[in-house]
Amino acid sequence: MKAVVLLSGGLDSTVALAQALSKRRDCLALTFDYHQRNAEEVAAAKDIAKHYDVEHKILQIDPQCFITSALVSKCGMPQNRTGDNIKNDGIPVTYVPARNTVFIAYAIGQAEVIGAQEIYFAANASEHPLYPDTRPVFRDAFQNLVNVATKQAVEGRPPQLLFPYAKWSKGDIVAQGYALQVPFERTVSCYSAEHDTVHCGRCDACYLRKEAFVASGIDDPTHYIEPGLPLGAASFSNLM
């Protein structure tokens, strides 16, 4: 069976790719370059796809589509926030307008092109309070669209949009990745990564990555410029 896996180069999507491969899926990894500030994740995605020896496509998107996001603009990036801050401060400036809607639309097109029956998207429960386009209700709405708007659906075999980690914490995903022997050191989560896989250790993405490894009890191989969790940081997974 063929599958399209949205591969950002981050931890969660890499585990999703490993999981799909463990199910003997013939995978197409799909990555998007929208001139994001954390462009190192695109390089990481290339490296990960090569590691797993899967077909890999990088699609270009005009960053003007997402210009209000801190990930493509020069507005300030939140730093050194605790789990309480991250959860309670509302939708963060790192939210990218309609990004996942656009990404999944492209993935549906690729699924039709190659005849894939599954699309893997690694949204997880830790993200639901922060990003509305990661929630199960978003997945269900998109599946309804797939069921009426694709040639495959008309022919009785619509692709299934899979959010395998919709009810999982990021710590759960780390544990799954460890079981699947995922090369975590090749992945990039940092919003400010500037070279290779070195992480700043200060941004929200770094905090959540650190917290996930702590919660899972698995050693974190990531190189952080500032390795410690913020003082007084509460476990984000316990705040949901």
**What tens digit of pLDDT does each residue of 201-224 get?**
988 899 999 999 999 999 999 999
Question: What pLDDT does residue 236 have?
Answer: 46
Residue 82 scores a pLDDT above 80:
no
Residue 125 scores a pLDDT above 80:
yes
Query: Is 2-238 a CATH 3.40.50.620 domain?
Result: yes
This prediction's pTM: 0.91
Give the distance from CA 203 to its chain's centroid. Answer: 16
Question: Residue 136's pLDDT band (boundaries 50, 70, 90)?
Answer: very high
**Mean pLDDT over the full length of the chain:** 90
Instruction: For the chain, report the end-to-end CA distance as a whole number of angstroms.
Output: 35
According to DSSP H, which parts of the chain are helical?
11-22, 40-52, 83-88, 99-114, 136-149, 151-154, 170-179, 204-216
Which segments of the chain are extended strands (E)?
Answer: 2-6, 26-33, 55-60, 118-120, 160-162
Contact 16, 165 (CB under 8 A): yes
Question: What pLDDT does residue 232 have?
Answer: 45
Question: What pLDDT does residue 89 have?
Answer: 67
Q: How much is the CA Rg of the chain, to the nearest whole Å?
A: 17
Question: What pLDDT does residue 25 have?
Answer: 98
Upper half-sphere CA count for residue 4 (Cβ side, 13 Å):
24
